[in-house]
Amino acid sequence: MMRRFYPLAFLLALLVALPAQGQVTPEELEEAKSELLVVRDKVQGLADAYEAALAETEHLEWLIAGTEGQAAELDRQLEETRVVATERAVDMYIGALANNLPLFTESGSLSDIEAGLAYMRDASDDDLALLNQLAILERDIARVAQDLADAEAAQLDANTKLVAAAEEMNRTLEEAQVEYNDLYAQWQVEEAARRAVEEERRRKEEAARIAAGGSSSSGGGGGGAPPPVVVSGRTCPVNGVVAFSDTWGAARSGGRSHKGVDMLAARGTALVAIEAGTISRMGNGGIGGITIWFKGDSGDDFYYAHLDSFASGISKGQHVSAGTKIGTVGTSGNAPANVPHLHFEYHPGGGSAVNPTPLVRSLCG
């Protein structure tokens, strides 16, 4: 459902004249939220497919690297064996001329002839063993080459699946987030207009009361969009449609293992402080790209990586409340350009990272 936006002055007039026509109702917002839950389930399935494809590509990358190393070692052994075979052939040729042929052309005892024949039989056995070793090496190299070709073909197929899953996932996330944001933006404008009308009514009543000799009363309407839902002092670090899978310990490039959870969301989605705490570090570079280390008042540390940007006004050492916007979802650092996400780590008590999936699942469900 798409809606046009109107200037505030026009909305004021509209609300006074036609208070119920063409407005976003609370029921519509709740319906939109319900639709987002359906979309989130769909995106979660896409995220699972993406993570499975990513795991397959990481495994194939490891397999290809090992196979390439095996092929290089076999090539080295083959070259060394060929050198030995060549030297052996030369030695046999020279030895046959210099040592063995005279046994058959010069006078000698029968025992001398038998000894020469035995030598040649032994030499022949050695040569056959050498030739057999060469044949085995060449066969192994052919097998490894085929294994490598098969792995590279499988990797190409896995990469194709990975890109397709990422594209569909991002398209679904962005469409859902944009539609809900448009609806909520319209709601905010209309709420501001309603508050302005209510404030004007209250001001006139207050002025009339004072004119009649009454006393001034305090109070007034609130304003702005509600902050992220905070439960027991904590909130989901991604304030929008988000999907994630438990990939703790999964293989990553460079021989690393995954020490967090990848929370996939549309690029630019707000990232917020998971609890009240302090921005302890801010970085821009390396594997994490644009990053924030956040020290919660609980004593736990949280790491936000691959951000698109820091939130305006955020600085190192600043203390913020739970739900305060601190950045936006992106792909900076060592992250696929077509998969915006937050790499999120959880360090209880400031110690080593633990699997954050149960925590974010409890907050973002």
233 within a domain of the structure (yes/no): no
* pLDDT value at 55 more than 70: yes
Band (68; pLDDT cuts 50, 70, 90) = confident
DSSP state of 354: B
Domain with 113, as residue range(s), is 1-226
Of the three residues 226, 253, 269, the one that is the final residue of a domain is 226
CA distances to 39, 133, 180, 271 from 294, in Å: 30, 61, 29, 12
Q: Which domain-ending residue is among 226, 255, 289?
A: 226
Q: Mark whether 221 and 245 lie in a shared domain.
A: no
The pLDDT confidence band at residue 187, using thresholds 50, 70 and 90, is: low
Q: Are residues 159 and 254 in the same domain?
A: no
Cα dihedral sign for 354, 358, 361, 362?
Answer: negative
Tell me if 246 is assigned to some domain: yes
Residues above pLDDT 70, as percent of the chain:
63
Each residue of 314-350: pLDDT tens digit? Answer: 999 999 999 999 999 999 998 888 889 999 999 999 9
Give the CATH number of the domain where residue 246 resides: 2.70.70.10
Domain boundary among 199, 226, 253: 226
**pLDDT tens track for 89-148:** 666 556 554 554 444 444 445 455 455 445 445 556 666 676 677 778 778 788 878 877
Q: Are 314 and 239 in contact (CB under 8 A)?
A: no
Pairing between strand 277-284 and 251-252? unpaired
Return the pLDDT at 224: 35
Confidence (pLDDT) at 17: 40
One domain for residues 175 and 97: yes
Q: Look at residue 232 and tell me if it is in a domain.
A: no
Average pLDDT over residues 295-303: 97
Sign of the dihedral defined by the CA atoms of residues 131, 135, 138, 140, in that order: negative
Backbone region of residue 213 per phi and psi (left: phi > 0; alpha: psi in -120 to 50; beta: other values): left
CA–CA dist 52, 247 (Å, integer): 10
Model pTM score = 0.56
For residues 277 and 346, the answer to whether their CB atoms sit within 8 Å is no
Residues 53 and 144 in one domain: yes
Between 57 and 268, residue with greater pLDDT: 268
Is 302 found in the same domain as 207? Answer: no
For residue 16, give the CATH number of its domain. Answer: 1.10.287
- 266 and 286 together in one domain: yes
Q: Cβ(295)–Cβ(283) under 8 Å?
A: no
Whether 72 and 129 share a structural domain: yes
Cα distance between residue 329 and residue 57, in whole Å: 24
Is 25 a domain residue? Answer: yes
Q: Does residue 111 sit in the same domain as residue 167? A: yes
The reply to whether 105 and 31 lie within a common domain is yes
Judged by average pLDDT, the poorest of 174-183, 279-288, 302-311, 353-362 is 174-183
Provide the CA 202 distance to its chain's centre, in angstroms: 52
In a domain, 249, yes or no: yes
